[in-house]
Structure 1
Amino acid sequence: MTALEDRIKRRIAVEGPISLGAYMAEVLAAPGAGYYAGEHDPLGAAGDFTTAPEISQMFGELLGLWCADTWQRLLGSPSPVHLVELGPGRGTLMADALRAARMMPGFREALDVHLVEISPALRAKQEETLRDAGVAVHWHRETATIPDGPLLVLANEFFDALPVRQMERTADGWCERLVAVDPERDALALARGAPTRKAAHYVPEELRDAPEGTVVEVSPAMLAQTQELAERIAQVGGAGLIVDFGPDSVMSGATLQAVRRHRPAEILEAPGETDLTAHVPFPLLARAAREAGAAAHGPVQQGTFLRALGIEARAQTLTANAAPQQARAIASALHRLTAPEEMGELFKALAITPRGAGTPAGFPETAEA
């Protein structure tokens, strides 16, 4: 039993069963004990998962060029502009983005870089990676402390780690799935709460008449984060780019999953030592952005988005003078990032801009709304 599991059990003994969202918030972000708030590095072969920036430099470079193009073509080249990354991992994406940003005259000179990170271990990695970046870098635990002014926000595999809740349709109405303690095993277990109007309210309107047995996953945290970002973009200017995995339509089903040492795990296993993620409901994020007064573009499939930004041409350039082994690695990375059976279809991109600013690179002209 981990120390965090014991603490959660004691909380349940006092408060009663807690929501899956409350459980996720505790096990992922509890200071000093949560998965992302401890001293370990979750990335890479020695960790639990690998993200796109760690697969290839091409990913971060193209996102950096996307920011530079958006800054000049859609935003009118404001200076200064805050370049913000949510959940920046080891700083790899930001380092690659800043290197590519040199191609846009004046862009790097206008930048003020802000990283939103709660992990001490990852912050140390980011400081090391960006030590010679040549721009000012500031760290935050939350987006609320980022200074006023126009901003460009990158969020790669950030939203999938925000807490989700699960509602289940029963014969008596919508109930919430909760985390409780099984007294016979003295172990954490899933339980079903009583039917309530509140549980039904969480379910998107288009799914409220779903048949008995349907499970709907919702994330007030994802929607609130999107709304906060969109409101700021609408009011002071800027743009946001969300890249993550999830559907391009409003769907039912439980997607919450756990990963430990690159293998699937039980979602209640080893709290604080196991990563938890869920699919990002892109259509609901787009709706939240529009309701907040901004324009939403997409979602589009990651493979489509990266090809539109020129990843194939970039791969050819990198391969031109590469040794055979390096060329194979570049081709493998290109396939992994763009192929439908790899990350190309499951992962999506969604952009948020001010209304009337135009369509950002990588998105079809009809995507703005």
Structure 2
Amino acid sequence: MRRRLWIPVQFCTRPARLGKCGFRRGSYGSFRYSSTEARQWSTPLARNLAEAIKTTGPIPLASYMRQCLTSPHGGYYTSSQDGHDQFGRKGDFITSPEISQIFGELIGVWIVAEWMAQGQKSRGVELIEVGPGRGTLMDDVLRTMRNFKPLASSIETIYMVEASSSLREAQERLLCGDTSVGEDKEGFKSTSKTLGVPMVWAEDIRFVPKGKLSKPNRMATANIKTHSNFFKDPSKSPFIIAHEFFDALPIHAFQSVPPSQPTLITSTTIPPPRTSTTPQWRELLVTPTPLNSTHTTLSTPRSQRHTGAPPEFQLSLAKASTPHSLLLPETSQRYKALKSRPGATIEICPEGQSYASEFARRIGGDAGKSASGAALILDYGPASTIPVNSLRGIRAHKTVSPFSYPGLVDLSADVDFTALAEAALSASSTVEVHGPIEQGSFLQAMGIRERAEQLLMGVQKGDDEKKERLEGGWRRLVERGVGGMGKVYKAMAIVPLSGGKKRPVGFGGDVEV
């Protein structure tokens, strides 16, 4: 069997940090809900969440994250915060493209190299970015591609997958300038000011056209957003960028508990499982903290106490099985191997696995002969281990409790790169996965030092501030120590199957001309 997962010999691991997210041992069955009316909540979304939990019971961590980030009623990315910009030095966090333009330039070079390695198609190239932020990364990528005329002329459409209307508007201003924006069956559409090709915005990658219909289907033909019956169009080559996208997708958390008489929490008619003599997975659910709680009673980490008020929500261990705990941990042998260890905790991101599968299907197709394109994923997380207790909140460049100020705090969790690789390989037999490797190693291989030296030579004499900014920026992207992003961030690529004949540039391969 040909090997399709190419990974480094050594892996980075990350120790578990128990209790980081306000995990409350014991079951939520004994929890007494305080009146939402008698309590002052930090945000309207916090009140809405508390009232929903009071009505329906504890909610999965994934549901809590989804509401906090994308709720139309106060979500972090989907609601106006009086002009507050989440990105950059004045926002809550800063990303690699904001630190140095070289980052985006090298992503552009990587796409150029993959395009060249795949025969330099003269038409049908599509650029797709998921979670584009303010559009800074795509702006640098397009500016770089403009210098490669054959590739630039082969690009048909640029797709931006963005759920936030405010971020979409920011991307439109940066990438399209004064070009008018219209709306049609594909989504919001404008024209790239850099390449002059169509730019289309979609809320989900499933809404991005994939190809031709596999069989006649009038309903699918009438609705461009119905793509389940599509197969890859061999004339299309999608190049997909996912930078700090997967870390923001909702996760489920589970803990293995000793065997006990199982009880199923469900509103459906699922038959109850048989009594088990082996450990079982229990889901960690979100509940409000008791009224008048303090940082001490909640065991809030000291590094998260600077926000003032203690967290308003916490994780509690379900006393019974849930549909998620019965299904998700059984989807991989990696999870099953930990089930026999009571106390073991795991995090699973089914939405992330779904996106990785979608990337693979778009690149590999169904028939095998049409495989083309590539996906580059850059995010943070362990190289091989399953993330555990990794949910974090970020506000004003500081780590805060993810259960404080819902809707005003960015939430993220470590990415399970191995789970993404498994999902991609299962989705298409005509792709292979390379990595993950440390971001520092990837950028060094792509020539970040040489590009920085080139830019430094162009700085005017005496402009020491700009020199320091350029020098400090690129070094931060590759350094492995405290404050550096070179080790904790990883790079992974999904490319057409080659059977080990060639590796992508940055992952041990060379540029092919």
Question: TM tier, shorter chain?
Answer: over 0.9
Amino acid at match of 1:139: W
Question: Once the 2 structures are TM-superposed, how far is the Cα of residue 18 of structure 1 from its aligned partner?
Answer: 0.7
Return 208-217 or 34-43, whichever deviates more. 208-217
CA distance in 2: counterparts of 1:101 and 1:11, whole angstroms: 48
Question: Once the 2 structures are TM-superposed, how far is the Cα of residue 13 of structure 1 from its aligned partner?
Answer: 2.3
- The residue aligned with 2:172 is 127
Q: Kindly indicate whether residue 155 of structure 2 is the aligned counterpart of residue 25 of structure 1.
A: no
Alignment of 1:150-299 (within 5 A): 150-172=237-259, 173-182=280-289, 184-185=291-292, 187-196=312-321, 198-199=324-325, 201-203=327-329, 204-206=332-334, 207-209=337-339, 211-235=341-365, 237-251=372-386, 253-293=388-428, 294-299=431-436
- The residue aligned with 1:65 is 109
CA distance in 1: counterparts of 2:90 and 2:387, whole angstroms: 34
Q: Contact 2:120/2:151 (CA < 8 Å) preserved in 1?
A: no
Amino acid at match of 1:361: V
1:301 to 438, 441, 461: 438
Return 63-72 or 132-141, whichever deviates more. 132-141
Q: Kindly indicate whether residue 469 of structure 2 is the aligned counterpart of residue 329 of structure 1.
A: yes
Amino acid at match of 2:283: E
Deviations 1:205-256 (A, max 9, x none): 2342453222111111111111111112111532110000011112352101
More helix by share: 1
- The residue aligned with 1:312 is 449
> Aligned to 1:151, what secondary structure does the other structure show?
strand
1:142 to 204, 210, 214: 204
> Aligned to 1:124, what secondary structure does the other structure show?
helix
Q: Contact 1:301/1:347 (CA < 8 Å) preserved in 2?
A: yes
Q: Kindly indicate whether residue 508 of structure 2 is the aligned counterpart of residue 364 of structure 1.
A: yes
Question: Once the 2 structures are TM-superposed, how far is the Cα of residue 41 of structure 1 from its aligned partner?
Answer: 2.3
Q: Contact 2:132/2:162 (CA < 8 Å) preserved in 1?
A: yes
> Aligned to 1:217, what secondary structure does the other structure show?
strand
- The residue aligned with 1:13 is 54
1:45 to 86, 89, 99: 89
% identical aligned pairs: 35
Question: Once the 2 structures are TM-superposed, how far is the Cα of residue 83 of structure 1 from its aligned partner?
Answer: 0.5
Q: Contact 1:174/1:195 (CA < 8 Å) preserved in 2?
A: no
- The residue aligned with 1:34 is 75
- The residue aligned with 1:348 is 490
**Which runs of 5 or more structure 1 residues have no equivalent in the other structure?**
none
Question: Once the 2 structures are TM-superposed, how far is the Cα of residue 185 of structure 1 from its aligned partner?
Answer: 4.8
Q: Contact 1:41/1:121 (CA < 8 Å) preserved in 2?
A: no
> Aligned to 1:353, what secondary structure does the other structure show?
strand
Amino acid at match of 1:38: S
Question: Taking CA–CA contacts closer than 8 Å with sequence separation of 6 or more, which of the two structures ends up with the larger relative contact order?
Answer: 2
CA distance in 1: counterparts of 2:113 and 2:379, whole angstroms: 21
Q: Contact 2:387/2:416 (CA < 8 Å) preserved in 1?
A: no
CA distance in 2: counterparts of 1:82 and 1:10, whole angstroms: 44
Amino acid at match of 2:351: A
Amino acid at match of 2:153: E
CA distance in 2: counterparts of 1:91 and 1:153, whole angstroms: 14
CA distance in 1: counterparts of 2:346 and 2:320, whole angstroms: 14
Question: Once the 2 structures are TM-superposed, how far is the Cα of residue 45 of structure 1 from its aligned partner?
Answer: 2.3
**Which runs of 5 or more structure 2 residues have no equivalent in the other structure?**
1-40, 178-192, 211-235, 260-279, 294-311
- The residue aligned with 2:143 is 99
CA distance in 2: counterparts of 1:252 and 1:188, whole angstroms: 21
Distance 1:210 1:301, change over 3 A: farther
- The residue aligned with 2:128 is 84
> Aligned to 1:343, what secondary structure does the other structure show?
coil
Question: Once the 2 structures are TM-superposed, how far is the Cα of residue 169 of structure 1 from its aligned partner?
Answer: 1.8
CA distance in 2: counterparts of 1:210 and 1:248, whole angstroms: 23
CA distance in 2: counterparts of 1:12 and 1:348, whole angstroms: 36
Q: Contact 2:391/2:402 (CA < 8 Å) preserved in 1?
A: yes
Question: Once the 2 structures are TM-superposed, how far is the Cα of residue 345 of structure 1 from its aligned partner?
Answer: 0.7
CA distance in 2: counterparts of 1:106 and 1:180, whole angstroms: 56
CA distance in 1: counterparts of 2:387 and 2:477, whole angstroms: 26
Using the size of structure 2 for normalisation, the TM-score is: 0.68
Question: Once the 2 structures are TM-superposed, how far is the Cα of residue 201 of structure 1 from its aligned partner?
Answer: 4.4
Question: Once the 2 structures are TM-superposed, how far is the Cα of residue 355 of structure 1 from its aligned partner?
Answer: 1.5
CA distance in 1: counterparts of 2:202 and 2:505, whole angstroms: 28
Amino acid at match of 2:78: A
Return 265-274 or 33-42, whichever deviates more. 33-42
Q: Is the radius of gyration larger for structure 1 or structure 2?
A: 2
Amino acid at match of 2:436: P
CA distance in 1: counterparts of 2:137 and 2:407, whole angstroms: 25
CA distance in 2: counterparts of 1:250 and 1:313, whole angstroms: 33
Deviations 1:20-61 (A, max 9, x none): 011111111112521111224210122110000000000000
> Aligned to 1:298, what secondary structure does the other structure show?
strand
Return 343-352 or 190-199, whichever deviates more. 190-199
Q: Contact 2:146/2:195 (CA < 8 Å) preserved in 1?
A: no
Q: Contact 1:69/1:361 (CA < 8 Å) preserved in 2?
A: yes
Distance 1:145 1:75, change over 3 A: farther
Question: Once the 2 structures are TM-superposed, how far is the Cα of residue 196 of structure 1 from its aligned partner?
Answer: 2.9
CA distance in 2: counterparts of 1:10 and 1:60, whole angstroms: 43
Distance 1:12 1:116, change over 3 A: same
> Aligned to 2:50, what secondary structure does the other structure show?
helix
Q: Contact 1:74/1:360 (CA < 8 Å) preserved in 2?
A: no
Q: Contact 2:247/2:412 (CA < 8 Å) preserved in 1?
A: yes
